[in-house]
Structure 1
Amino acid sequence: MQDAQVYKANALVEASYRLSLYEQRIILACISQVRRDEPLTDQKLYTISAQQIAEMTGTQLGTAYQNLKAASERLFDRRVTLHEAPNGQGSTRVRLTRWVQTVEYCDKEGAVALRFGTDMVPYLSQLTEQFTRYALADVAKMSSAHAIRLYELLAQWRGTGKREVSIEWLREALQLEDRYTNIRDFKRWVITPAIEQINEHSPLWVKWDQRKTGRRVSHLVFTFGEKARKTTQKPRQRKEQGKACEGNKSASGSIYGIPMEVINAQARPGESRDDAAHRILEKRRNNAKA
């Protein structure tokens, strides 16, 4: 599962739901198994084992085994409230549905198998626009479910480097209900730990600030970007690699010869810089042929 990717419709990223940390890990690990080259049906069974969870998260096998079993028993009852249709197909009625229709715990194998709910399938498969993609490894070692949710909301706007959300909307998305109603508690127990984990475990760095409406803090403003990639190569090796990759990403800040400022300006929400550069390049080529 080292290179596993998570694809979600933006409408699902912004949906209202609450999952525990291990419920999130089960759901995301199964989403990462959805094939991009074939349609997903509600009959497909996905399996994740305690051994895989332990390796993915860097936790003890015994701990993963116990938490996996407990989470699988709760997962069937977890609900999600959707406010939009997938693939930018316009608004939809507010839909309350379930993540899964079947959950099976395989005691001998220490594994969970699940089938996604029928209503969830369009939000996970055949996504052609308005979706968010990130590596499962980006969130694997996070120990806060809030950190995972916040990371997804930032990854959705990866190409812009900034996102502002109202506290009321974020509380609803996280389904906090009557918890952390005091803004100090909300920042202390939800936002600050989530930001710390994103900065520690993900490929993004994040800073945040608050905005007031009158005297009341009403919005949070997140500024973020890609961390510098670590390298252990010697200077000579880096120079040689740069020549080999000249047609792809240059040291001067461009991808496929397209300046980064152009890529950032034209990137769609949830679209990686590489994908945006490729789309811009293809558009230029098609315009040249016309």
Structure 2
Amino acid sequence: MTTETLKKPVNISQSNELTEAAYYLPLQAKRVLWLCLMQCYPMKDDPDSVSPIFTVTVADYQKFFKVSVDTASTDVKKGVTALAGSSVVFYPKEGEFEEVKRPWLAEAGLKKGRGKWQIEFNYKVMPYLMGLTSQFTTYSLYDCGKINSVRVIRLYESLCQYRSSGVWITTQDWLSERFMLPESQRSNFAEMKRTFINPALKKINANTPLKAAMTQNDDGRLVFTILDSKS
């Protein structure tokens, strides 16, 4: 991918399988993943044309996340290192497995003196980046660029998945598992609501095109209502 590709509108598109996967990445790693997903976006209609090898530069990180070159260099290295040491859990809707855990990367190399990383994703993860189905979650990096909490970003991605219907129904257990929430929130819904859901919705409503609220059904399920101010 060239820098010219990154000058186009900064859209990110990922398969719903990835949106619904269980993983936790620090902010730097999430941003490195974004830089790769941005390169996938122009080719999402032809997944077979996308190479598993991506280039992530310090210059692009600095440009999109408005940090100094020194911070960008440190952040990219931290992000790549975190991706290289992390796994993601998928929940296939078909096949013999209920859940499958796979490492994100096959390899990552820093080009000498160029501020450029070459990242190769695990070939078994690539289909989830591009889509095993025709269903994608798409949003603009500019719409959530002010959010610096990874779990809030992941909640935003989930809400984006259901913005066309305006309603997302889920459970405390689903959020706990997929977002890898801390035990204090997993075991105590009041604590989850006070320290995660309510503050997250406040940040999303203030900093993105979405306006969302959450109520709880009599059966305990969580009902998120979503209004997209761009639609």
Distance 2:218 2:69 in 1: 46
CA, structure 1 residues 108+78, in 2 after alignment: closer, same or farther (shift >3 Å)?
same
Distance 2:61 2:173 in 1: 33
| Structure 2: runs of 5 or more not aligned | 1-5
**Is the aligned partner of 1:227 residue 2:224?**
no
1:4-153 mapped onto 2 (5 Å cutoff): 4-34=10-40, 35-36=43-44, 38-40=46-48, 44-84=52-92, 90=94, 93=97, 94-106=99-111, 108-125=113-130, 129-153=134-158
1:157-196 mapped onto 2 (5 Å cutoff): 157-176=162-181, 178-180=183-185, 181-196=187-202
CA contact (8 A) 1:47 1:114 kept: yes
Aligned CA-pair RMSD = 2.5
The residue type paired with residue 138 of structure 1 is D
Deviations 1:153-195 (A, max 9, x none): 1111121111121011110001125243333332233223322
TM-score w.r.t. length of structure 2:
0.83
Match of residue 254 from structure 1 = none
CA contact (8 A) 1:80 1:96 kept: yes
Deviation of 1:222 after TM superposition, in Å, equals: 1.3
CA contact (8 A) 2:212 2:224 kept: yes
Distance 2:205 2:68 in 1: 23
CA, structure 1 residues 65+212, in 2 after alignment: closer, same or farther (shift >3 Å)?
farther
| Structure 1: runs of 5 or more not aligned | 229-272, 274-290
Distance 1:107 1:165 in 2: 47
Distance 1:127 1:7 in 2: 13
Deviation of 1:221 after TM superposition, in Å, equals: 1.9
CA contact (8 A) 1:14 1:153 kept: yes
SS at match of 2:124: helix
CA contact (8 A) 2:22 2:90 kept: yes
SS at match of 1:84: coil
CA, structure 1 residues 188+69, in 2 after alignment: closer, same or farther (shift >3 Å)?
farther
CA, structure 1 residues 174+69, in 2 after alignment: closer, same or farther (shift >3 Å)?
same
Distance 2:212 2:55 in 1: 33
Deviation of 1:99 after TM superposition, in Å, equals: 1.6
CA contact (8 A) 1:57 1:141 kept: no
Q: How many residues are aligned here?
A: 221
Distance 2:76 2:53 in 1: 17
Deviations 1:98-126 (A, max 9, x none): 22211223473333321111111222336
Identity score, percent: 28
**Is the aligned partner of 1:206 residue 2:202?**
no
Distance 1:208 1:30 in 2: 32
TM-score w.r.t. length of structure 1:
0.67
Kindly name which structure, 1 or 2, has the bigger radius of gyration based on alpha carbons.
1
Deviation of 1:48 after TM superposition, in Å, equals: 2.0
The residue type paired with residue 171 of structure 1 is S
RCO greater where, 1 or 2, for CA within 8 Å and sep 6 or more? 2
CA, structure 1 residues 5+58, in 2 after alignment: closer, same or farther (shift >3 Å)?
same
CA, structure 1 residues 105+209, in 2 after alignment: closer, same or farther (shift >3 Å)?
farther
